[in-house]
């Protein structure tokens, strides 16, 4: 009986750890994409560097970044270690930028 309770406790801890990692990676992707979008007008290098800094500040590692016009799409990952000897990776992608090219207006424009 005691062994079953310990096993259930470990399973619960593993599920909890995976859920926390999933939330962490989603937040890092969203915040990284938003930060990168602020620099998208400066080019892919500046936008991706900014996105990577914000992703890292949120405990994730950026694995991919593409900039197309004023839109940025990034993919990040977070290592998950739910139990000793067990490891995995949680991944998420996020996009940020204007809703459409028509949404971008120049200062003083219509």
Q: Answer whether residue 85 shows pLDDT above 70.
A: yes
In the chain, where are the structural domains located? 2-98
Higher confidence at residue 10 or residue 80?
80
pLDDT mean over 58-84: 92
Average pLDDT along the chain: 86
Q: Residue 42: beta bridge partners?
A: none
Instruction: Evaluate the CA torsion angle 74, 75, 78, 82 in order and state its sign.
Output: positive
pTM of the model: 0.77
What are 14-62's pLDDT values in tens digits?
A: 777 778 788 899 999 999 999 999 999 999 999 999 999 999 999 999 9
Mean pLDDT of 79-88: 80
**Which residue, chain included where needed, has tokens 């593409």?**
66
Residues in the chain, how many? 110
Is residue 96 within 8 Å of 37, Cβ to Cβ?
yes
Q: Is residue 1 within a helix (H) or strand (E), and if so which, with residue range?
A: none
């Amino acid at each position: 009986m005691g062994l079953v309770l310990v096993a259930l406790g470990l399973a619960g801890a593993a599920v909890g750890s995976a859920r926390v990692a999933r939330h962490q990676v989603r937040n890092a992707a969203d915040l990284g994409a938003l930060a990168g979008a602020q620099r998208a007008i400066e080019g892919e290098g500046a936008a991706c560097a900014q996105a990577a800094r914000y992703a890292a500040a949120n405990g994730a590692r950026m694995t991919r970044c593409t900039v197309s016009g004023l839109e940025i799409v990034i993919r990040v990952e977070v290592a998950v270690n739910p139990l000793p000897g067990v490891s995995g990776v949680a991944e998420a992608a996020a996009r940020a930028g204007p809703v459409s090219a028509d949404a971008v207006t120049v200062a003083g424009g219509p």
